[in-house]
Chains A and B, each alone.
Chain A
Amino acid sequence: MIGLIRKDVLNLTKVLKFYLGAAVLYGVFSYMNENTLILVYMLLMLAFFLILSAFQEDDVCEWDLYAGVMPLKVTDIVWEKYLLGFIFNLGGVVCVLILSVSLLALKGRLTEFPVILQSAGIGALVVIAVQSIMIPVIYKMGVERARIAIVIGTFGIFFLGYAAIESGLLGSLSPELIENMIRYAPYAGIVAVLLLLMVSYKISVNLYKKKEW
């Protein structure tokens, strides 16, 4: 497993450097716009795209064919990608916190830090959820078709959200219900993401076992 992580991290060194450069740029951009949340979401999005790059690199060199003859279990090969996702996600959160604390300190607005922390947490959970949906899709369809699926899926979610607002569905909910939803959302979110992660991993392992190279 450690060898697989090393392979992906070492292979993505160039991309990581590029993303770090992008992080600094987003930092400057968010400083100028006085909106640190831009930085949070952009960095977490970059962390998500890193995992796609890892799959893409494997596809190009047919790494999975090679991994299939190595003393590795299918569960190790699949779990490594999830683990890599967490590492990149965690890296993104750490970058966000360092950059935003620096920016807030520059502006003398360190009191806003809890908001950033909360946003980074929510963002990280969303990234894990999206990765959990995407990884089985990649194993089933391949990276290229999975990318198209992301775009369609994102538009679909936006469309559903827009439709829910336009239909007045959200307005019909009682203020107490909304308040309760907001209060319990973080806990429910964590449980839901963990469940999604477990189901996703099971599906990915089953898909991988059936694959032929």
Chain B
Amino acid sequence: MSLAIRCKNVTKQYEHFTLDHLNLEIPNGSIVGFVGENGAGKSTTIKAILNLVHPEEGEIQVLGEDSRDLSREVKERIGVVFDGCKFPQGLKCKYVDSIMRGIYSSWNSQVFRDYCRRFGLEGNKTVKELSRGMKMKLSIAAALSHGAELLIMDEATSGLDPMVRDEILDIFLEFIQDERHTVFLSSHIISDIEKIADYVAFIHKGKLLFMEDKIRLQEEYGLLSCSKQEADGIDPAYVAGRRENAFGCTLLIRNRGDFRRSFHKETDPVSLEEIMLYTVKGGRR
């Protein structure tokens, strides 16, 4: 399996946060959703991948090159969308084309104009006159107009209404139709990841807790509602999280197939959001 991104033991320390020996592999031709609560380390990881912050330890490869020394050719093949529009606020949308044409040798004005038409972006409007949704569309149009093979997005859909999010996610699905294309998308909106991702990487307090195939993840985990007494009798190796209430408790069971065979108990299907919540908070409630 060829990799679009490979992070090995990446460590970045700040005063109140540490990205802790992160190991992450993003396969080519896939959509990987990068999830975690606010402040978990998603943006730091993305910035480290893009060499916008400099990790103290570890190595990162992007499209086969060391991220600290990416060639112009490789950078042309990476499209990036941040959580806000980074074009100057007073700039008219129509000027984005001529600016980017002067920066990317592979810039395709026709593709950009097509995206602008499709998104309803008016050329004479300045960036500051656009709504948040339209600003994100402008950023996405720019990221997709220079023949990028790897699309990296940091919270690109946060703060957008469900209609716009849906429209944007459809574009990503369209983009991934080409098997050479890869999408690495960070978000704390789990439903977005659930909708489009092939793999889910989950980061918590600077540590990668897991990276799994989305379908396998949902097959592997299940929820079991039982009494506290019953819960105490279950092998802790199966328990990924536990939440108690006045009536009993609910366990997040890992390896649910084995569990069914061993305990003859059925578990309920679980959503990604529940897996996240139980994994992070399950032990404390």
Interface residues of A (CB under 8 A from B): 1-7, 10-14, 57-58, 60-63, 65-66, 68-73, 212-213
* A10 touching B95, Cβ below 8 Å: yes
Q: Name the contact of A65 in the complex, choosing from B72, B82, B98 (C-beta under 8 A).
A: B82
B1 within 8 A of A: no
Among the listed A3, A12, A61, which residue makes an inter-chain contact with B101, where contact means beta carbons less than 8 Å apart?
A3
B113, CB-defined interface residue at 8 Å: no
B90 at the interface (CB under 8 A from A): yes
Known: A71-B76, A71-B104, A213-B47. A60 touches B89 (CB 8 A): yes
A76 to chain B: closest residue by CB: B103
Residues of A within 8 A of B84 (CB): 62
The residue from A5, A13, A73, A213 contacting B53, defined by CB atoms under 8 A apart: A213
Report whether A10 and B99 are in contact in the complex, using a CB–CB cutoff of 8 Å: yes
Provide the residues of chain B in CB contact with A6, threshold 8 Å: 95, 98-99, 102
Can you list 19 pairs linking A and B with CB atoms under 8 Å apart? A3-B99, A3-B100, A3-B103, A4-B102, A57-B89, A61-B86, A63-B86, A63-B87, A65-B86, A66-B80, A66-B82, A66-B86, A66-B87, A69-B52, A70-B103, A71-B72, A71-B104, A72-B75, A73-B72
B95-A68 in contact (CB<8A): no
CA distance A45 to B113 in the complex (A): 39
Given A6-B98, A66-B82, answer yes or no on A72-B103 (Cβ-Cβ < 8 Å): yes
B197 within 8 A of A: no
Q: How many chain B residues have a CB neighbour from A under 8 Å?
A: 32
9 A-B pairs with least C-beta separation: A3-B102, A3-B103, A66-B86, A71-B75, A2-B102, A11-B88, A71-B72, A69-B80, A213-B52
B50 within 8 A of partner (CB):
yes
Tell me the chain B residues, 60-117 only, with Cβ under 8 Å from chain A.
72-73, 75-76, 78, 80, 82, 84-92, 95, 98-105
Q: Give the shortest distance, in Å, between A12 (CB) and chain B (any CB).
A: 8
B267 contacts partner chain A, Cβ-Cβ < 8 Å: no
B86 engages A57 (CB within 8 Å): no
**A13, A61, A71, A213, most chain B CB atoms within 10 A:** A71
The digit string for B255-281, where 1 denotes a CB below 8 A from any CB of A, is 000000000000000000000000000
Given known A-B contacts A3-B99, A212-B52, A11 and B76 have beta carbons under 8 A apart: no
Cβ of B5 to closest chain A Cβ, rounded Å:
13
Residue of B nearest to A15 (CB): B90
Given A61-B89, A71-B75, A71-B104, 6 other A-B residues pairs in contact with their CB atoms under 8 A:
A3-B98, A3-B100, A14-B90, A60-B88, A61-B127, A71-B103
Chain A residue contacts of B104, Cβ below 8 A: 3, 70-71
